[in-house]
Amino acid sequence: MKVLVTGSSGYIGQHLCAFLKSKQHEVWGLDNTFGDETYIDEFRCIDITNQNDLIAGCWNDITFDAVIHLAALVQVGESVKDPLHYYQTNIQGTINCMKYISYDNFVFASTGAAAAPTSPYAISKFAAEQCVRQYLNDVPYTIFRFYNVIGSAGYEPTNPDGLFYNLMKAERTGQFNLYGDDYSTPDGTAIRDYVHVTDICRAHIHAYRYLENKGAQRIVSAVLVDKDLGREKPYRADHIGLVTENRYLFGFGLDYKGYLRNWPGIYACRTVY
């Protein structure tokens, strides 16, 4: 199968391209930055917000079996500072990909934060979901809502707002910072759903195979609907990897320090009370 991955240079994108190639798919990549292209048959460096570049450079003579649309801005804090940039990229960029790329199936990567959007990032992804639903009337699509993606199969996370990014950084700094100690939980820290990046990759393959067979349109929550995508039990953020207790798991010691939320009232992920 011929699969186009937008955002192929990102944390999930690089994992997904490698996973698709391991399953003998023809992998095409699109991003506005360069990453590991080892597992990509053909790559285009294109900004999805520029429709002229997208039209000129995006294989107009090819119809992909599936487009997996990962390309997006994902930092909650940055979205608060520059919301219009997020609306342009995550909403208009998604519209451009739907309009100017030819495909038989479309898979859109959204976020669990879209379930109750409070940040410009979450609002932009929720709005993009509505665009997918309304634009793709005759095209099979899946909308995935991912929560907290963690783990690695060779590629490090790229979102500095993310818990896993900060956990990886802790190897260099010796300190793991956890933001938010005023939640309505036993110890005040957030309880979150986590999903491993390789499970995300598997889910995308299942998605477009399902679409091919069923021709359906659906929205999937990464934890609440498809159990194969996440843990059935949410965890406290300070328990991921037992960072305050088990230094042998990582091979280095960590000091855990708690902070107030960076953006009071704004949730980067679903919190279970």
Query: Could you read off the pLDDT of 75-107 as tens digits, one per residue?
Result: 998 999 999 999 999 999 999 999 999 999 999
> What pTM does this model have?
0.81
| Most confident listed range (102-106, 222-226, 232-236, 266-270) | 102-106
Token pair recorded at residue 95? 């519209």
Mean pLDDT calculated for residue range 45-65: 90
Token pair recorded at residue 120? 């410009």
Q: Which residue of the set 39, 121, 141, 179 is catalytic? A: 121
- 141: annotated active-site residue: no
CB count in 10 Å sphere of residue 77:
14
Q: What is the SS3 assignment for the chain?
A: CEEEEECCCCHHHHHHHHHHHHCCCEEEEEECCCCCCCCCCEEEECCCCCHHHHHHHCCCCCEECEEEECCCCCCHHHHHHCHHHHHHHHHHHHHHHHHHCEECCEEEEEEHHHHCCCCHHHHHHHHHHHHHHHHCCCCCEEEEEECEEECCCCCCCCCCCCHHHHHHHHHHHCEEEEECCCCCCCCCCCEECEEEHHHHHHHHHHHHHHHHHHCCEEEEECCCCCHHHCCCCCEEHHHHHHCCCCCCCCCCCCEEEEECCCCCCCCCCCCCC
- Parallel/antiparallel/unpaired status of strands 235-236 and 191-192: antiparallel
List pLDDT tens digits, range 147-162.
888 888 888 787 777 7
pLDDT averaged over every residue in the chain: 79
Burial of 58 (0-12, 13-18, 19+ CB in 10 A): buried
AA letter at 95: I
Residue with more model confidence, 118 or 252: 118
Q: Are 7 and 71 in contact (CB under 8 A)?
A: yes
Q: What crossing angle do the helices spanning 93-100 and 120-135 adopt, rounded to 10°? A: 20
Of 201, 239, 247, 177, the closest CA to residue 5 belongs to 201
pLDDT band at 247 (very low <50, low <70, confident <90, very high): very low
Q: Are 108 and 142 in contact (CB under 8 A)?
A: yes
Q: For residue 179, what are the β-bridge partners?
A: 259
**pLDDT(128) > 90:** yes
